[in-house]
Amino acid sequence: MKKVSFYVSNLVKRVLNYGKFKNEFLKRLPKEFHGAARLLFYHTFTPAEKELASKIESFRSRIPELSSAKEIYSYTSPHSNSFATDEQGNALPGEYLGSAVEAHMKTGSSTFNGILLRRIVEGAGVKRILELGTNTGFSGCYFLSVPGTELVTIEGSDALCEIAKQNMDRISDKHRIMNMLFDEAISKLIEEKATFDCVFIDGQHEQKATLHYTQRVLPLLKPGALIVHDDIYWSEDMHAAWEQMVQDPKFSQTVDLFYKGICVLGNGAENKAHYDMGEYLPRPEIFRKNW
């Protein structure tokens, strides 16, 4: 019932705000984010996106063929206020839990979220992407489907790395999977003097961890680079992290796309701008309340 009323209010708000979205919001919003904002508002894929999404979705049912492991382990997202570091200042991950390989057919980006990521990357002309949280490689497949993109993706679970490699190879070989904890891999990339024009942070969904990784990746980025955060409405705590980033003077632009939050790294000289889809569509409810 709650779901039905959300869909009805969503539809009503969409119809009422149609003109405002088109004639006000899209006029203010930088062009590179139009594709992503349109997807959120109109909920429609192009024929090419439909074809791509159904190809990538077909990989899901084949996940059990990609691993001989009985149980697949992954790092879970910890509860609020559980953040801790080791003596070197590296973040401790969430619990490492195993589950049947079939359970991992459901994880990873959905078609909607995958196409949303693809539109962000394509719209901004991003070429070198760093991802924190590979999982089975679904978001990776969407990133790699944009011509000319290269992906470095970090995942602590060996079995997931093995699965992700085979999934992503079906789209492109322009990827490097780092089978390490996020902090270890970021240190290695800093040592290598690697640079990226987009970082997607999609693991360890906890406020302090999110802010920690946001700080850690900065040496890998130049002004104009994007940091895309997943699940900014996942918990009150994750939303609080997002609100801090919206206020952070380091970011010249922030865009609230509900399922993703984009931060554009500034050069310190621009005025700050925030763009919020919540002015035109009902904001999603917090997914894990009191987490």
Q: Which range binds ligand SAM by CB under 6 A, 18-26, 59-67, 153-161, 239-247?
A: 153-161
CB neighbour list of residue 289: distance below 8 Å, 6 or more residues apart? 235, 236
Smaller CB distance to ligand SAM: residue 209 or 225? Answer: 209
Which residue pairs, CB below 8 angstroms and at least 24 apart, start in 245-251? 245/211, 245/214, 246/274, 250/218, 251/227
Site for ligand SAM in 129-148 (CB under 6 A): 133, 135, 138-139
Site for ligand SAM in 220-239 (CB under 6 A): none
Q: Which range binds ligand SAM by CB under 6 A, 6-14, 41-49, 155-163, 221-229?
A: 155-163
Q: Which range binds ligand SAM by CB under 6 A, 120-128, 196-204, 216-224, 237-245?
A: 196-204
DSSP 276-290: EGGGTSPPPPPSBTT
Question: Torsion angle, CA of 227/283/6/25, rounded to 10 degrees?
Answer: -90
Q: Which range binds ligand SAM by CB under 6 A, 81-89, 156-164, 166-174, 232-240?
A: 156-164
Q: Is residue 272 within 8 Å of 252, Cβ to Cβ?
A: yes
* Residue 90 beta carbon to ligand SAM: minimum distance, rounded to whole angstroms: 9
Smaller CB distance to ligand SAM: residue 49 or 266? Answer: 49
Rounded to whole angstroms, how far apart are CA atoms 129 and 52? Answer: 20
Which of 35, 156, 261, 266 touches ligand SAM by CB under 6 A? 156
Residue 91 dihedral angles phi and psi, to the nearest 5°:
-65, 140
* Residue 1 beta carbon to ligand SAM: minimum distance, rounded to whole angstroms: 29
For ligand SAM, how many residues bind (rule: CB under 6 A)? Answer: 20
* Residue 136 beta carbon to ligand SAM: minimum distance, rounded to whole angstroms: 6
Which of 203, 206, 229, 233 touches ligand SAM by CB under 6 A? 203
Which of 145, 157, 214, 235 touches ligand SAM by CB under 6 A? 157
Q: Where are the alpha helices (DSSP H) in 170-203?
A: 182-191
* Residue 239 beta carbon to ligand SAM: minimum distance, rounded to whole angstroms: 17
Task: Please identify which residue in the block is written with the tokens 């679970």.
Answer: 157
Q: Which residues partner with 226 through β-bridges?
A: 198, 264
Which H or E run contains 245?
helix 236-247
Binding of residue 109 to ligand SAM (CB under 6 A):
yes
Binding of residue 261 to ligand SAM (CB under 6 A):
no
Binding of residue 93 to ligand SAM (CB under 6 A):
yes
Which H or E run contains 132?
strand 128-132
Rounded to whole angstroms, how far apart are CA atoms 182 and 163? Answer: 18
| Helices 34-42 and 111-124, axial angle in degrees (round to 10) | 150
> Which residues make up the interface to ligand SAM (CB under 6 A)?
74-75, 93-94, 108-109, 133, 135, 138-139, 154-157, 160, 181-182, 202-204
